[in-house]
Structure 1
Amino acid sequence: MSFQDQTLASATSDAAPAAVVAELISLLADVLKVRPEQLDPGLTFRSMGIGSVATLQFVSVVNAHYGTGLKPTALFAHPTLLAFAGQVAREAGVVEERETAPPEPATSVTPDATQDILGFLRERLAGILGCEPAALDPSAPFNLLGVDSIRGAKFVAAINDAYRMNEPAVTLLDRPGLAAMAAHIARVAKAEGPPAADGPAADEELGALLDAVRADRLSVDEALTRLPHQA
């Protein structure tokens, strides 16, 4: 099953707060004795090789952390971390709390600036995914566009390099869509004007860092910190 197909199943439930997704990734990583960045929240628990013992341990840890009474069978009803996070959020009452959170303060960002950034993001992500920019819906969540952990790391690296930012890999969880990411960049980016085009040397170095992430020699966040900013 493709990454898109796996995440479509979880999309039928209410979207979970990014903080809950991140916490569940951390809890599951502790159970499996792996690093959190090695876990893709869009993959099914079965495809990650989680057996009955790990299932019992994970659900027990989640219940202790959130004060919930979830059964191990909840992982069968919600077979990905994204889908399970939605159920955990509802059981723990986190969804309502998130909905009443105050909005981000207004800024003087112009619509034109945001649109320029959105255009760049669509082109860059389209290049990473191997599709046309017009095929990418700015309001669609990144996971439904086919952005997995490796593609996400490459995309965030491109954003950091182009706009002189230092965003962590999980920024795509907090701003799950091109439009939301463009608005965030317009508020906080230090660069003025359109970003410079990538050069061959930058592409080669980025490729080497991504190879290191795939080979588990570097974490995603470690790779992002090693990317040089272009002049």
Structure 2
Amino acid sequence: MNEPQRVQKRIAQAGITSRRKAEQLIIDGQVAVNGKTLTKLGRKVTDQDIISVNGQIINSEKFEYYLLNKPAGYVSSNKSYPNQPSVIELIDSQSRLFSVGRLDQDTTGVLLLTNDGALTQKLTHPKHRIKRIYEALVKGVPTESELADLTKPMRFDNEIFFPQSGKIIEQTSQTQSLLEVTVAEGKNHEIKKILQHIGHPVIKLHRKMFAGISLGRLKAGEYRALTQKEIEKLKQ
């Protein structure tokens, strides 16, 4: 970090919390720089400064960015549980990585992982409308009317969903079909909920693209570092 940055921004980049919540931590006296507790906003720091939150030092890390073809059976969490291994275990890195958004344990496909908290917040905040494209094997074959429902807002279960498009890729049998569905938010179980709502429960779900990045030749469980061009595009 060549230029000085405000403390709250540095805390957010480290993935500790959001910038707004970091500001509140500072006001509450839970943040220290070089051993001195802060109570006011405005302090700037460089790599030479030592920041701690509730006594825990934030290390100045080099940011890392990875694309993983998430296999089924792994959770998008930093912690592993019995029968629920973490996607973090698949990445050979000593950094404190976290996933950019989440995929359900049984969902496969594109998952970004990084230690760049600021970029993670940008890519997951609904206001940025980051495009996500999924392939969903579903029960039944949607009608034209049902596919049209995937292009307009839906309100149910006290939530509003904003799917962008849906189309049939292939009718795999008399009772199943493969769909491509595009959304621009990352609500929990969003694809499963909207397809259930139109009468076609998901059997299998795969994310083929996120924020313009697709898997290419990566096999399930494989990963690669993002290119500098990809990183710059994500930050635009």
TM-score class, shorter: under 0.3
Larger relative helix fraction: 1
Q: TM-score, normalised by structure 2?
A: 0.27
Larger relative strand fraction: 2
Q: TM-score, normalised by structure 1?
A: 0.27
Q: Which structure is larger by alpha-carbon Rg, 1 or 2?
A: 2
